[in-house]
Amino acid sequence: MKNRFDITSETILCQTDDLLSTDLGEEKLMLSMERGRYFGLNEVGKMIHDRCDGKTTLGDIVDELVQEFEVERPECETTVLQFASQLVSEGLLRFSE
């Protein structure tokens, strides 16, 4: 199994199957059935989670965010990779097969 140190801009992640979620405007509320915990994502977190579709690399997601928001690519990439690692560790995303 991969760990957080394996997450790079070339990593492709997808959403886990045990999540119930709903969009609340620009935010997302999720319930992990496995963990029995609720999670809330802000607008940017929602965008990242939604784009983890099993086809899109994290680098592609970074490129989209750089276009959408006023942020430098190196800073955005570092933040996205850290955030993705957290979502994997919480069971909200998994590595694509």
Closest alpha carbon to 63 in 74, 52, 54? 74
Taking a C-beta distance cutoff of 8 angstroms, is the pair 94, 10 a contact?
no
pLDDT digits (tens, 9 = 90+) for 36-71: 999 999 999 999 999 999 999 999 999 999 999 999
Question: Does residue 29 form part of some domain?
Answer: no
> Residue 23 falls within a domain, yes or no?
no
- Residue 1 — very low, low, confident or very high, per pLDDT cuts 50/70/90? very low
List, in sequence order, the alpha helices (H) in 9-94: 43-51, 58-68, 73-89
The whole-model pTM stands at 0.90
Q: Which residue segment(s) compose the domain that 49 sits in?
A: 4-17+43-95
Query: Would you say residue 28 lies in a domain?
Result: no
